[in-house]
Amino acid sequence: MGYKNNKTGYRDGLLESRAVIKKNNYAIIPHDGLVNNAVPGFENCRISILGSQHLGASFNDYICEFLPGGQNKLGFGGEGIEVFIYLIKGKLTVSDRQESHELTEGGYVFLPEGELMFMENTSDEMAEAFLYQRRYEPLEGHEAYKVVGNKNNLEPIHYEGMEDVLLWDFLPTDDFGFDMNIHVLQFQPGGSHGYIETHYQEHGAYLLSGQGMYNLDNEWFPVEKGDYIFMARYTQQACYAVGRDEPLAYVYSKDANRNPQ
Ligand code: UGY
Ligand code: MN
């Protein structure tokens, strides 16, 4: 899938993998351990299911390469299910029943429950996207709505006031119609969380660039671009970025604005 391939270890007879799966707590799934899945609606795509209820998540995450001509014409989402797409690479046409949006790198679309998301790669290059779906938790008197944007047009904030950590919010942060948000968090080399977070909310994170060390439940793990990390509710979490060339950045989900059920 275009990432450094540590399956060489397998060929050398070392049988090494960095994957760590602690169901209902945390998981690290390196890119080179992924297999292609057949997922209803996705045609001419290399798609892998990442987070799911079987890991302990309340959402499904996917990483998908739309080959030229790759598409989903059946629709992603539907009754009760909210969906989100973030375009990591290439170009992709993303539509609901009303209109189409031409996404370029950094582009995203959120559709509220009841809508269907259609996708098509009409370019002659592969397009890579991170996809999310979750059963919406309604709140009386409030409603979510479609959001379309591009990370490159947003102004990041300094996460918790730190000079070397930036945060982009993709959905409104002050609207109780939304029961979750998707963000990008970026650490300059040497940058880190200010403390080990311990919180009710869960995360699915896909690493977009760089390398770092991630603390999950008080153990440290090396992580890099292409890894997926699941963090269940209350899993302790923190990281720091290493290397010189690239910041460590990930796109991740976080539930919000609701009482525990
Ligand atoms: O928003 C968050 O809770 C985020 N800072 N968590 C994380 O990066 N593991
Ligand atoms: Mn967190």
Q: What is the pLDDT of residue 169?
A: 98
What percent of the chain lies above the pLDDT cut of 90?
93
Distance 202 CA to ligand 2 centre (A): 7
Pocket of ligand 1 (CB under 6 A): 185, 197, 203, 237, 254
* Per-residue pLDDT tens digits for 86-95: 999 999 999 9
Neighbours of 11 (CB within 10 A): 8
Task: Work out the pLDDT band at 2, boundaries 50, 70, 90.
Answer: very low
Q: What is the pLDDT of residue 33?
A: 94
Q: To which H or E segment does residue 11 belong?
A: helix 8-11
The Cα-based distances of 20 to 29, 125, 202, 236 in angstroms read: 7, 32, 17, 15
Ion ligand 2 neighbours (CB, 5 A) are 197
Residues 104-131, mean pLDDT to the nearest whole number: 98
Closest-approaching ligand to the CA atom of 183: 1
* Per-residue pLDDT tens digits for 22-44: 999 999 999 999 999 999 999 99
CA-based R_g, the chain, Å: 18
- Domains belonging to the chain, first-starting first, are 8-255 (2.60.120.10)
Mean pLDDT value across the chain: 95
Q: Which of 254, 255, 257 to mutate to test the pocket of ligand 1 (most atoms within 8 A of CB)?
A: 254
Residues 179-194, mean pLDDT to the nearest whole number: 98
Residues 74-79, mean pLDDT to the nearest whole number: 98
The Cα-based distances of 186 to 25, 217, 241 in angstroms read: 23, 21, 9
Distance 8 CA to ligand 1 centre (A): 33
Residues 179-201, mean pLDDT to the nearest whole number: 98
Q: What is the pLDDT of residue 12?
A: 55
Q: Which of 25, 252, 257 to mutate to test the pocket of ligand 1 (most atoms within 8 A of CB)?
A: 252
Q: What is the pLDDT of residue 3?
A: 52
Using the predicted structure, report yes or no on whether residue 14 has a pLDDT greater than 90. no
Distance 145 CA to ligand 2 centre (A): 24
Q: Enter the tokens of residue 223.
A: 């992580």
B/e letters for 13-22, b = 16+ CB within 10 Å, e = fewer, are eeeeebeeeb
Q: What is the pLDDT of residue 10?
A: 53
Name the residue with the closest Cα to ligand 1, atom 2: 254
* Per-residue pLDDT tens digits for 209-229: 999 999 999 999 999 999 999
Q: What is the pLDDT of residue 245?
A: 87
Q: Enter the tokens of residue 245.
A: 């060339």
Distance 199 CA to ligand 2 centre (A): 7
Amino acid of residue 10: Y
Q: Which of 157, 181, 193, 253 to mutate to test the pocket of ligand 1 (most atoms within 8 A of CB)?
A: 193
Using the predicted structure, report yes or no on whether residue 9 has a pLDDT greater than 90. no
Neighbours of 122 (CB within 10 A): 14
Is the CB of residue 183 less than 8 Å from the CB of residue 168?
yes
